[in-house]
Amino acid sequence: MEQENLPKHIAIIMDGNRRWAKNKGLPISLGHKEGAKTLEKIVRYANKIGIKYITVYAFSTENWKRTEEEVSALMNLFQSYLDDYSKRADSENIKVKIIGNRQGLSEKMQKSIEKCMERTKNNTGIVFNIALNYGGREELLNVTKNEALKHPNWSMGRKISIDSSTLMNKGLEVIEAKWLFDVEVDQIDVVVHPQSIIHSMVQFNDSSVIAQLGCPDMRLPIQYALTYPERLENGFERLDLTKIATLTFEEPDLETFPCLQLAYETLKMGGTYSAVLNSANEVLVEAFLEDKIGFYDIPKYIKETLDAHKSIEEPTLEEILEVDRWTREYVKNLIK
């Protein structure tokens, strides 16, 4: 790769070491050790070709939920790795920085971190950031509206961007899919797809899957909605899978993002609960954008409103409009 085309910063999430070990019938600790060895090779090569920064997300807040034995093994591995690696990093002119919240780490671990950073602080090669205690519910408790509005792939309006950050957008899409395609709730799954390339997939009776793919650009679905069933030519970016290279998926964390769980629950309860969910969410997102409530107040007040609502099993249009009016008034009184 030519020097001018090199990225300045590479980010890596350490994930899959446990699965790799389990699939091979090996101890989990060996999976983590092999992951560390591979990571070191990547950092060495990145330093060699002139990349300035590499950040590795090594240990998230969710990792503390693993068994005490595995957490202890991970911490011991990380500490011994730092003690040993600091010498090699120094000899290769690599600057090591440990970032993130160190709360919960032992005093011995803290000393190893300080020793490694002190030893390599004057090196002028690649900066190797190791992120600890990142992610999870704790980081979202104090998230600001500006942070929640920053979607990595999509350019959307303010309301939809907040819905995306709470995963309410997926919850509303689950509700839409149930009624548009006449399927049961249990037939609809949501997966987190960081690249935002695959927008929907349908699995058929013979187990084959058909997916709809495209660059993340809201103009495309808007155009198709306006011109359906015709597909018109346009000047939008074309999808190049060779540049994307990797498509990844993971299950949504319903504890961290309860709005999605609430959407599923309203569908199962039936009646006018889904209408209440949508109306309450609209009022609460507006309040969040006006700095009147916090990020997790959105699902909190939605649930309180659902609990207070007396559902109508088969509502008329007039009754749905009245439920919408009641919900908005109820939520506004809740957050006064």
Cβ pair 248, 193 in contact under 8 A = yes
Pick the range with the lowest mean pLDDT from 88-102, 167-181, 316-330: 88-102
Task: Write down the pLDDT at residue 277.
Answer: 98
Q: Which residue has the higher pLDDT, 8 or 308?
A: 308
pLDDT per residue as tens digits for the range 211-264: 999 988 888 889 999 999 999 999 999 998 888 777 888 888 887 789 999 999
The answer to whether residue 1 scores a pLDDT higher than 50 is no
Work out the number of other CB atoms within 10 angstroms of the CB of residue 177.
Answer: 18
Q: What average pLDDT does range 91-107 have in this prediction?
A: 82
Cβ pair 69, 100 in contact under 8 A = no
The answer to whether residue 145 scores a pLDDT higher than 60 is no
Percentage with pLDDT > 90 across the chain:
46
pLDDT per residue as tens digits for the range 277-331: 999 999 999 998 898 988 889 999 999 999 999 999 999 999 999 999 999 999 9
Percentage with pLDDT > 70 across the chain:
88
**How many Å apart are CA 226 and CA 59, to the nearest integer?**
46
**How many Å apart are CA 264 and CA 232, to the nearest integer?**
35
Task: Write down the pLDDT at residue 123.
Answer: 94
Q: Which residue has the higher pLDDT, 14 or 159?
A: 159
pTM: 0.59
